[in-house]
Structure 1
Amino acid sequence: MSLLDRFEQAFMPNYGVPPVALARGEGTRVWDVDGKEYLDFIAGIAVSSLGHAHPALVEAVSRQVATLAHTSNLFVHEPEVLLAEKLLGLLGAPARVFLANSGTEANEAAYKLALTYGRREGRSYFVAAENGFHGRTIGALSLTGKKSIRDQFGPFPVDVRFVPYGDAEALRRAVTGDCIAVFLEPTQGEAGVVPPPEGYLRAAREICDATGALLVADEIQSAIGRTGHWFAHQADGFVPDLLTLAKGLGGGLPIGACVGFGAAGTLFGKGDHGSTFGGNPVSCAAALAVLDNLDLDHVNAVAPRLRSGLESAAHPLLKGVRGRGLWLAAVLTEPRAAEVQRAAAGAGFLVNAVQPDAVRIAPPLVVTADEIDALVTAFPKILEEAAQ
């Protein structure tokens, strides 16, 4: 019986059966259980920042797991303090950190912080963006504007009003003095890597300042160098009240973070929130290795090559390319993203059909120019096969 057959028999059917069973990885390359080699242009959904089996990550995790693997939140350990200090240094603003296990838990922390603020100030509702994605737990799902994964689990515990992403005037109309917080992604990930219009996020900051609502930046996918900056909001010229991180922060190990700036960092009192595994020493060691070894200059050097190379694929199926840094979507003229994903895998490249008409391309941040050229060279033929 194949590994995929065993998977189907052992697991709940919420993922279906993935098309490829992976066995190992090295750098930007992975191999399936049959020995076929692929160039990884998904990176575990923008997670594997340093690629696979990066020596610094392996060494840091191995050393930490042999020293102290777990403490719970009843005790302090140095890796968590070092990580919080490192994040605050990169952010360059007064803030406090809460460490969690994942992106949805980071957003749950932000949600609870916002509720604390809202109840103290007598505010009653949230605003979020249509097609936004903030997680699958009930609090985070309440804020997720993707009907296909949200509606079947309602009703939700709070009033959330959804507005079109990128429409500053719609946001202005929706946010009043009764609004608790606005949750936005600096670029929408699961919607198909959709960047905001110029000035939109600065306008969101101004709207929140004028009304007293908190502004929450969900950077689960966009942070930790993915867009060519440590944090995407830094390029957009604003500072949020709450910032959520995960995915690329751990380089493959599970970790999330919620950062509260200024007064938002002290909204929780003792006992208001917690996590048994949040701030785990091994995950913190991995995150420190990522932050110490990630090269933003390299990201910014190779990212234009990937974008321009994909854009140069003159094919009727390709409408265009959007995104930032090493986080792009090939936008199609027809809903054939699944076919592109299959054709790419057949050619030895892993990409992701994030929307019916959009293929997400998010390689490890260590991807080389030669590896980018390999995908770019193969892309027209991949599109042609998908079109047929």
Structure 2
Amino acid sequence: MGMSAPGHGPSEHGEAGLEKGAVDLQRYSHALMGTFGVPMRVLARGEGSYVWDADGNRYLDLLGGIAVNALGHGHPAWVEAIATQAATLSHTSNFFATEPQIALAERLLDLAHAPSGSRVFFANSGTEANEAAIKMARKTGKGTIIALEGSFHGRSTGALALTHKEAYRAPFAPLMGDVVFVPVNDEDALRAAVAEHAADLSAIIVEPIQGEAGVIPLTHAYLALARELTRRHEALLIFDEVQTGVARTGAWFAHQLHGVQPDVMTLAKGLGGGFPVGALVAFGEGPGSMLGKGEHGTTFGGNPLAAAAALATLRVIEDEDLIANVKSVGTHLRERLEAMDGVVEVRGEGLLLGIGLAAPASAEIAQAAVKAGFIVNPPSPDTLRLVPALTLTTAEADTFLTWIEGHLAAHPLTDDGDR
């Protein structure tokens, strides 16, 4: 196919080959809304940690569909599970149960070490799982939800009310009220907000590591305080683990790294390994019974095809010991990156890493990276985010590390932003 390796630029298709991608992007602009801006490339296929564009150029995918492609692209066990289930039973209404749906709920409860009485609700995305969590907060009979500055919980109107970024919120105001935002890891501010709204506090919702804000980890002390305060005031502690869940951080769920169990956990992204599936896990008898018959619903959530994909994803993570791989490759990336000029810190856990730069050059570096054959993401001006497949090898990671080290050496960063 004339495909190029990362760092070798375009393939040998020539102008006729390059025209394919350009034509496809033109078709895209005429047929799809501009909601996501102009796509970087038109991707045609993937295998493992690599993807190829419409012109045959190969890229090391270190974004993984934004933490979605947990097993990379085209993992044989995942493909087989979906194909087998599609040929057996792909969808039923929620008037019926299916064995894959039940098995997936049982597996999630087991992995989460959920106590007796815990229950699972399936949805199609993280946003929808968070909408279910909002309903649970409302079922407490109280109104105020405390969320964090820098938070991202989704773009539907309920989840958007919990999302901090003003640019996302302003076009759709007024949103659901009674949401109070407090600074990340500021224990005094959290105590003060809880004290002010104690009589009406329904929930505190946090991401154990804020991905869209630039990979900002919450401290153990802060999570423990949130747990203490919600128990004291009979409010729910909701952990949005849409990005941090499913082995991404080197544990099945990020809260397990802290030994702090929430009342509600929301999941999606890596759970289906690329197939749309979301879930809410309610811990214990109280939360597990909060959404009664008819109080929430979904047409597609937890259908047998989605459940089969998620079960296959969890099974491969366990069978191939990918949690150990996440830890080892994540440590390797961190150690190499921290030693590079221009990198001031590396935040996050496992294979959810934020490369803190000495200057606000992340967008420029991400553009250079894709031209060189690497897909990374600039979630903030001075941060590059890496959320690759959990199957990423050290050798694959090294190709990126060699490139970015060379790029930073050739384009030095300074604290004042000069290049």
TM-score tier after normalising by the smaller chain length = over 0.9
Aligned-partner residue type, residue 158 of structure 2: G
Structure 1 length-normalised TM: 0.96
Structure 1: distance between partners of 2:353 and 2:221: 20
Deviates more, 1:9-18 or 1:376-385: 376-385
Contact residue 195 and residue 323 of structure 1 kept, 8 A: yes
Give the total of aligned pairs: 382
Structure 1 residues 307 and 89 mapped into 2: Cα distance closer, same or farther (>3 Å)?
Answer: same
Structure 2: distance between partners of 1:23 and 1:327: 25
Confirm whether residue 218 of structure 1 aligns to residue 249 of structure 2.
no
Aligned-partner residue type, residue 101 of structure 1: N
Q: 2:154 maps to which residue?
A: 135
Contact residue 246 and residue 271 of structure 2 kept, 8 A: yes
Structure 2: distance between partners of 1:42 and 1:306: 14
Q: 1:125 maps to which residue?
A: 144
User: Equivalent pairs: percent with the same residue?
Assistant: 51
Contact residue 137 and residue 143 of structure 2 kept, 8 A: no
Cα deviations by residue, 1:290-329 (Å, 9 ceiling, x for unpaired): 10011211211221001111212223xx322111110101
Q: 1:88 maps to which residue?
A: 109
Shift of 1:198: 3.3
Contact residue 146 and residue 180 of structure 2 kept, 8 A: yes
Cα deviations by residue, 1:324-347 (Å, 9 ceiling, x for unpaired): 110101112222211111111111
Shift of 1:197: 2.4
Aligned-partner residue type, residue 247 of structure 2: G
Of the three residues 365, 372, 382, the one matched with 2:397 is 372
Structure 2: distance between partners of 1:352 and 1:380: 17
Structure 1 residues 69 and 334 mapped into 2: Cα distance closer, same or farther (>3 Å)?
Answer: same
Say which SS state the counterpart of residue 367 (structure 1) adopts: coil
Q: 1:296 maps to which residue?
A: 323
Unaligned runs of 5+ in 1: none
Aligned-partner residue type, residue 6 of structure 1: R
Q: 2:10 maps to which residue?
A: none
Q: 2:68 maps to which residue?
A: 47
Cα deviations by residue, 1:225-256 (Å, 9 ceiling, x for unpaired): 00000000011111101100000000000000
Structure 1 residues 386 and 220 mapped into 2: Cα distance closer, same or farther (>3 Å)?
Answer: farther
Structure 1 residues 386 and 26 mapped into 2: Cα distance closer, same or farther (>3 Å)?
Answer: farther
Q: 2:368 maps to which residue?
A: 343
Aligned-partner residue type, residue 68 of structure 2: V
Aligned-partner residue type, residue 49 of structure 1: A
Aligned-partner residue type, residue 258 of structure 1: L
Contact residue 336 and residue 386 of structure 1 kept, 8 A: no
Shift of 1:386: 8.6
Aligned-partner residue type, residue 168 of structure 1: E
Confirm whether residue 97 of structure 1 aligns to residue 120 of structure 2.
yes
Confirm whether residue 308 of structure 1 aligns to residue 330 of structure 2.
no
For the pair shown, the structure with the greater C-alpha radius of gyration is 2
Structure 2: distance between partners of 1:135 and 1:364: 22
Shift of 1:385: 4.8
Q: 2:379 maps to which residue?
A: 354
Unaligned runs of 5+ in 2: 1-21, 414-418
Structure 1: distance between partners of 2:264 and 2:304: 24
Structure 1 residues 385 and 283 mapped into 2: Cα distance closer, same or farther (>3 Å)?
Answer: farther
Say which SS state the counterpart of residue 45 (structure 1) adopts: helix
Of the three residues 259, 264, 280, the one matched with 1:237 is 259
Of the three residues 298, 301, 324, the one matched with 1:278 is 301
Q: 2:181 maps to which residue?
A: 162
Structure 1: distance between partners of 2:58 and 2:249: 27
Of the three residues 96, 106, 109, the one matched with 1:75 is 96
Contact residue 243 and residue 268 of structure 2 kept, 8 A: yes
Deviates more, 1:356-365 or 1:249-258: 356-365
Aligned-CA RMSD value: 1.2
Say which SS state the counterpart of residue 2 (structure 1) adopts: helix
Structure 1: distance between partners of 2:100 and 2:28: 35
Structure 2: distance between partners of 1:330 and 1:346: 19
Q: 2:292 maps to which residue?
A: 269
Q: 2:14 maps to which residue?
A: none
Contact residue 309 and residue 373 of structure 1 kept, 8 A: no
Aligned-partner residue type, residue 98 of structure 2: H
Shift of 1:269: 1.2
Of the three residues 25, 36, 61, the one matched with 1:4 is 25
Aligned-partner residue type, residue 63 of structure 2: I
Shift of 1:212: 1.2
Structure 1: distance between partners of 2:46 and 2:102: 30
Structure 2: distance between partners of 1:210 and 1:308: 40
Confirm whether residue 57 of structure 1 aligns to residue 78 of structure 2.
yes
Structure 1: distance between partners of 2:338 and 2:41: 27
Q: 1:181 maps to which residue?
A: 203
